[in-house]
Chains A and B, each alone.
Chain A
Amino acid sequence: MKSLSFLWVLPLLMIGNAEAAKIAVTDLTYSERVSGYFHVVDYHNKSSARASQSDRENNYSSSSRYSESGRSQTDYTEVESSYSYIEYGELRKFVGDIKGEILKTSGFQLTQAKPYTSKGSEKIFDIIARIKKGYYSNADYVLFGTVTELEFRDELNPIIGTNTSSNTFSLMLVAEFSLINTRTFEVKAAFSATGEGEDARMASAGSRVVPSRGKVISAVSKSLGEDVARQMNEQLGNYTDSGERAERGAPAPPAGLPNEGPVTRFTP
């Protein structure tokens, strides 16, 4: 009987699951041109020398013989060239906070995305092929992100009037995201989001400061997560006019003319 009473709860759980759309967040895909230069010098030198001497002497005569031979061989090869190729892959960082913010601020359920582990090629950007291959079989939507720009900066600026300077180590990450329906391939939201973090320290003359990379990476991840969740909620219409979050499923503003309020003009 106890097990039967539990069966009552099951449909309720199923309803609860059916309401919230499931979303999978991919790792951030990147492509980067890698250029290099190589210069190889191969030098072999083999040399040998041989000398022999023989002396013979008896009561009547004496003879002496001396011979000498030498050989030297040198091989020299020099090759120089530059190469360039495009590297494709996925950054296994920065998506943790995106997932966290989506859980906190929107009504989605999260499912784990399967990472792309094949050898990197341009196919990595073919998200439709990945969806069809069943990478995100449990998800209704995939949030597909690609890295647009990743820039580290290390700046040292003197503080005027003092003998100290400010050392700022910062990282900025810009990524583009598309929220794709896994059945219809409809793009429900698309935006580019920014994550930035910095570690600023005062350095006096002669001192050496080491910036905390961990702190910077963590700040970038957090701010990227917040930006992604905010823009996704905006585009999915999860906000009301007063800026409060609306209930999921609230009617969207009528399409057509822009929803325009009265103009406020400020007097000089």
Chain B
Amino acid sequence: MKTFNKALLTGMLTSACLLTACTNHAPPPQPGSINSKLEQLGEMSYLQVSDLKAVKRNHLLFVQAEITNTDDDNQQLFYRFKWVDASGFALGEEAWKPLVLYAYQKQTLSAVAPSPQATDFKLEVNSTDNTGDRP
């Protein structure tokens, strides 16, 4: 009887662990979606990347993103672009850039790849007002 109880307890613990693991890992973002190009350091509470587009001009990747503040208060955003070459290797590291978005403001961020070798990118964003959860 004692062994049975022990087995039951172990089983319950395992299933609880599995359940937690499942809830912690959100499904991967759809390829071609904004989220697939976004890296949030904690889910932003009031800021959204509402539009994102990229084009190649003069051999250089040109990216434009639109950030929307859905709050009635000013919001602080820090962002940087991560440029990646065709083999998936990162090309250097940019510095974080600060940006203040006024209440309900939409701001456009533009960036040009530092080198023609950049074929892909990720936009890394961090808002001081975030939920603290995994995005």
Instruction: Answer yes or no: do A and B interact.
Output: yes
What's the minimum C-beta distance from B9 to chain A, rounded to whole angstroms? 34
Q: Is the interface of A mostly helix, strand, loop or mixed?
A: loop
What separation, in Å, do the CA atoms of A230 and B115 have in the docked complex? 8
Q: Are B54 and A234 in contact (CB under 8 A)?
A: no
| Binary contact readout A234-268 vs B (1 if CB under 8 angstroms, 0 otherwise) | 10000111110000000001000011111111111
Expressed in whole angstroms, the minimum distance between the Cβ of A97 and any Cβ of chain B is: 16
B116/A259 in contact, CB under 8 A: no
- List residues of chain B with CB within 8 A of the CB of A259: 56-59
Question: Does B107 lie at the interface of the complex (its beta carbon under 8 Å from any beta carbon of A)?
Answer: no
B22 within 8 A of A: no
On whether the beta carbons of B53 and A263 are closer than 8 Å, the reply is: yes
Q: What is the distance, in angstroms, from A64's C-beta to the closest C-beta of chain B?
A: 94
Q: Does B85 contact A (CB under 8 A)?
A: yes
Q: Which of the 9-residue segments B12-20, B29-37, B127-135 touches chain A?
A: B29-37
Docked-complex contact B86 and A243, CB < 8 angstroms? yes
Check if B59 sits within 8 Å of A266, measured CB to CB: no
Contacts of A267 in B (CB 8 A): 30, 32-34
Given A243-B86, A258-B57, also A266-B116 (CB < 8 A): no
Chain A residues within 8 Å of B86, by CB: 242-243
Compute how far the CA of A230 lies from the CA of B116 in the bound complex, rounded to whole angstroms. Answer: 10
Q: State whether B58 touches A253 (Cβ < 8 A).
A: yes
**What is the size, in residues, of chain A's interface with B at 8 Å between Cβ atoms?**
19
Contact call A253/B56, Cβ cutoff below 8 A: no
Whether B59 and A264, one on each chain, are in contact in the complex, defined by CB atoms closer than 8 angstroms, is no
Total interface residues in chain B, CB < 8 Å: 23
Task: Tally inter-chain residue pairs, CB-CB below 8 A.
Answer: 59
Q: Is B76 an interface residue (CB 8 A)?
A: no
B37→A243 contact, CB < 8 A? no
> Which of A230, A234, A260, A266 lies in contact with B55, CB distance below 8 A?
A260
> Given A258-B57, A259-B57, A261-B55, does the pair A268, B50 have CB atoms closer than 8 Å?
yes
- What residue of chain A has the Cβ atom nearest to residue B114's Cβ? A230
**Considering the chains assembled together, what is the distance between the CA atoms of A260 and B60 in angstroms?**
9
Q: A241-B59, A243-B85, A253-B59 in contact; A264/B54 too (CB < 8 A)?
A: yes
Q: Which residues of A contact B58 (CB under 8 A)?
A: 253, 258-259
Residues of A within 8 A of B51 (CB): 265, 268
Task: Determine the residue in chain A with the shortest Cβ distance to B118.
Answer: A243
A264 touches B117 (CB 8 A): no
Interface membership of B40, Cβ < 8 A? no
With both beta carbons as reference points, the residue of chain A lying nearest to B53 in the complex is identified as A265
Residue of A with least CB distance to B87? A243
Contact A268 B59 (CB under 8 A): no
A-facing mask of B104-120, CB < 8 A → 1, else 0? 00000000000111110
Apart from A234-B116, A240-B116, A253-B58, list 17 A-B contacts with CB within 8 A: A239-B116, A240-B59, A243-B117, A259-B59, A260-B55, A260-B56, A260-B57, A261-B56, A261-B57, A263-B55, A264-B53, A264-B54, A265-B51, A266-B34, A266-B54, A267-B34, A268-B33
20 A-B interface contacts by CB (under 8 A) = A234-B116, A239-B117, A243-B86, A243-B119, A258-B57, A259-B58, A260-B56, A261-B56, A261-B57, A263-B55, A264-B55, A265-B51, A265-B52, A265-B53, A266-B33, A266-B52, A267-B30, A267-B34, A268-B34, A268-B51
6 smallest CB-CB distances across A and B, nearest first, come from A243-B117, A261-B56, A266-B52, A239-B116, A263-B55, A265-B53
